[in-house]
Chains A and B, each alone.
Chain A
Amino acid sequence: MKEIKYVIKDELGIHARPAGLLVKEARRFQSEIILKKDNTSVDAKSILRIMGLGAKKGDEITMTFHGADEAEASTSIKAFLAANL
């Protein structure tokens, strides 16, 4: 299992476009990827679940990765978050 934490810096938070791009990235991997904010955990491969979190600037999210390609997935998503959110 791999885990990363990230504090959102984008003014608009995780709205439709970044949610779509994050899902596109997450779907490249076989691992189960979970995105958690406060006490709500959602599948990071579902656009609507991610948008439903309503994550805003300053919110901390935690992402966990389980599976054969978890190391690669966590590295890649970490870079994605830094570049996009």
Chain B
Amino acid sequence: MFNKLKEQLGLGSKDKEILILSPIKGEACSLEEVKDPVFSEKIMGEGLAIKPLAGRVVAPVDGTIGLIIGTKHAVSIVSEQGTEILIHVGLDTVKLNGEFYHAFVNTGDKVKAGDLLLEFDMEQIKASGYDVITPVVICNTSEYSVITPVIGVMVEELDRVVAIKK
């Protein structure tokens, strides 16, 4: 009964907004701007893309590292509420095979929002001919009714960039 009351008041976990913080300092833009259809067509999920201004990726939520790819250009975090977030640094950067990337965490590590996950050498990646735009997507998008990204603004690390509702 108490739970029912909480739900009616919008306090139940079902209605609670989940916030994803910016993992990177840069310009928040729409996924449609990403020149890779798996992201721009939202096949990987809803979210946003960040044009980085600094070569650091920090944890966008408290959670667990789901996966750090062997080539260190992408990392996923599962938040404490079960939101699956993928941060993919640059497009087609799987081909760099880890060069210009450095990982500070391993699969299964517990992290707090703001913990350093990756560093990358933006200038070298660009000089090698790659776009450094970084999609930040919610891979389990289908589990949520509303995913609202912040678009068209400059963001600092840990600024709010996505609000999610069950």
Contact = CB atoms under 8 A, between A and B. Distances in A.
Interface of A: 12, 15-17, 20-21, 23-24, 46-48, 51-52, 54
Contacts of A47: 44-45, 86, 139
Contacts of B12: none
26 contacts: A12-B94, A15-B69, A15-B71, A15-B94, A16-B94, A17-B36, A17-B38, A17-B94, A20-B38, A20-B43, A21-B43, A23-B43, A46-B139, A47-B45, A47-B139, A48-B66, A48-B76, A48-B78, A48-B84, A48-B139, A51-B69, A51-B74, A52-B67, A52-B107, A54-B69, A54-B70
B17 to A, nearest CB: 22
Contacts, number: 44
Contacts of A20: 38, 43-44
Nearest to A23: B43
Nearest to A20: B38
Per DSSP, chain A at the interface is: helix
B95 interface: yes
Q: How large is the interface on B (under 10, 10 to 19, 20 to 34, 35 or more residues)?
A: 20 to 34
A69 to B, nearest CB: 18
Contact of A52 (B66, B95, B140): B66
Given A15-B69, A16-B44, A47-B44, 16 more contacts: A12-B95, A15-B94, A16-B38, A16-B69, A17-B94, A20-B44, A21-B38, A23-B43, A47-B45, A47-B139, A48-B66, A48-B67, A48-B84, A48-B86, A51-B74, A54-B69
B88 interface: yes
A78 B139 CA distance: 24
Interface string B35-68: 0101000011100000000000000000000110
A57 B66 CA distance: 22
Interface string B86-119: 1010000011000000000001000000000000
B12 to A, nearest CB: 26
A20 B42 CA distance: 9
